[in-house]
Amino acid sequence: MKSKILIVDDEKDVELLFRQKFRKEIKSGTLELCFAFSGDEALGILDSENPPQVVYVFSDINMPGMSGLELLAKVKERFPQINVSMISAYGDSQNYEKAMNSGAKEFFTKPIDFESLKKEIGGMIKEN
């Protein structure tokens, strides 16, 4: 079964990076990536399917408009079954604490360690 993952980041070049890093998984059909460039856009994608096909959301914390932490709270409230991990450019313990207390599954810092990210996604795909 194909797992759909939503990546939320206001930096457009993130899409290219994820598509390169997960090229094999996308090609083999185990993974489908979709991208949103704001928290509002991410919620729009999740709301457009009932129930949402997305099983995992990776969101940057620092975005204009709705922050990743606000998005996390909204996703957890409306779609408790979806795993959400946060990505931050800063390894600051304050955001880490906030994210984990709000129900984040994992917390990644930039530059993203794609090996641990793949492990995380791989483990989650097996659960589904």
Q: Is the pLDDT of residue 16 over 70?
A: yes
Handedness of CA 128, 3, 22, 25 (dihedral sign): positive
pTM of the model: 0.93
- What's the chain's average pLDDT? 92
DSSP 112: P
pLDDT in tens, 63-109: 999 999 999 999 999 999 999 999 998 667 889 999 999 999 999 98
CA-to-CA distance for 96 and 87, rounded, in angstroms?
10
Give phi and psi for 75, each to the nearest 5: -65, -45
8 Å CB contact between 38 and 31: no
pLDDT at residue 127, rounded to an integer:
60
Give the β-pairing of 3-8 and 83-88.
Answer: unpaired
> Which range marks the domain in which residue 76 is found?
3-127
pLDDT in tens, 20-35: 999 999 999 999 999 9
Q: Report the percentage of the chain scoring pLDDT > 90.
A: 77
| Number of domains making up the chain | 1
CATH classification of the domain holding 112: 3.40.50.2300
Nearest to 86 by CA among 94, 19, 33, 78: 94
